[in-house]
Amino acid sequence: MGSLPGAVKIDSPPYFLGGARKAFTAPARLLFDPCCLIPGARGRGILRYGGVGMSGSSAHRPAALPLRLSAFYFSHFVLIGIALPYWPVWLQGRGLGAVEIAVILSVGRWISAGTTPAIAQLADRRGELKILLMVLAAGVLACYTANHFAHSFWPLLAIAACTAVCMSAMMPVIESLTMLHAARGQVDYGRVRVWGSISFILATLAGGEILGAWHADAILWAIVASSAVTILAAACLPDTRSELAARRRGAFLQLARHRVMLLFLAAVGFLAGSHAALYAFGTIHWRAAGIGDRVIGMLWAEGVIAEILLFLVGGAFMRRVRPSDALLLAAAGGVVRWIVLALSTDPWALFAVQWLHALTFGAAHLGGMAFVARAAPAGFSATVQSLYAALGMGAASALAILLVGPVYAAFGGGAFYFMAALSLLGGVAALMLRRGWDGRRIELPTSGS
């Protein structure tokens, strides 16, 4: 097979880790790369080209690369698909009220707003994404297991804070890893990411069955089991090394306060926050209206099926629209979706608008990822991903969940009107981004302030 364009170096085993050569024994290799046992997925050495490393075997067997990335998304979103709709029910089973649930769900997002960018900067500076994901996945497993021993608000709050440190940082790192390969044409981002959506559907359906058949504690142990599988999936990832970011003093602050970045974060923040009532109280609200757990699982699944269909054509979709246009579509869909959810709990009405998740989340996410790919300065992909995840989605969602708790306690389904207003504000910010960004990379000064 001919050499790849820009290929400059192949490092044969033993592996290189953190710039220092470390010889791994066979048992150690199985620990850090168990997929070496899978034909076509052996991680031999590091091939560097274009400033980015990828496993040498993946260069020769490209089919292995999307498989290994997709496996991580699949396992990780099983966890999310159980936790997102059903974790509030588990907290309710611990005797917590609406306001306490809202505080616990939001505190982790507040903490992640500070910790996720720091972890992402570490990823950009070290370039060792696989090991970092393994450590984060192990932390998630330990934290969720600890919930079994907590029976009151304050211990659960402390565990939620610790969980957020690990959980929230995983998506920016895996998204950065996937986008590194997508930018070089080795994978189609949408076709890899779609496996996370598929597993989310399966998990939400399974979660509804679990909740209907067993005590709410079964939800906790399903999450623990999926966390363990995620560690194995992380170990099977290619040992890709990202381009190392130059150490620029104040670079993070320069990015965070750049006008284009601020407009982007405002748009995605309002759009992500508009899901707060659904994510925090959707299942509780529908159960209170007499809708069965199986139907609720189907409602969650319908939204993600719509998201999957959009992701399958995501590449073609984003070639035809600007990132800001995708955000505008998300805002329009959100206004319609949340008003209907405020007006009705009739299952047919809910089924009629749940497909709008393809816009409110799917289009917003594709637009956000396209913005990151086009706007991130060289070597700062994970950092910009973390700003998107921690501030644009995490902190904004945290504030929205914190605010929607008392609103839902007072007005019930009327809280969804508040979500429609947030979607409208997201649309205004997206329109300003459309007018204020030329589609090029953000340029940082050569020396920080």
Asked if residue 257 has pLDDT above 90, the reply is no
User: What is the band of 20 on the pLDDT scale with cuts at 50, 70, 90?
Assistant: very low
pLDDT tens per residue, range 365-377: 999 989 988 888 8
Percent of the chain with pLDDT over 70: 81
More confident residue, 402 or 100: 100
What's the confidence (pLDDT) of residue 294? Answer: 83
pLDDT tens per residue, range 232-247: 999 999 887 655 555 5
User: What is the band of 162 on the pLDDT scale with cuts at 50, 70, 90?
Assistant: very high
pLDDT tens per residue, range 393-432: 777 887 888 889 889 989 999 999 999 999 999 999 999 9
What's the confidence (pLDDT) of residue 439? Answer: 86
Q: Which of 36-40, 214-218, 267-271, 334-338 has the lowest mean pLDDT?
A: 36-40
Rounded to two decimals, the pTM is 0.68
| Contacting residues for 161 by C-beta, under 8 A, at least 6 apart | 107, 108, 111
Mean pLDDT across the chain: 80
Mean pLDDT value of segment 305-323: 88
What's the confidence (pLDDT) of residue 427? Answer: 97
Domains of the chain, with CATH numbers? 7-60 (no CATH), 64-436 (1.20.1250.20)
Mean pLDDT value of segment 79-100: 90
What's the confidence (pLDDT) of residue 233? Answer: 96
What's the confidence (pLDDT) of residue 336? Answer: 97
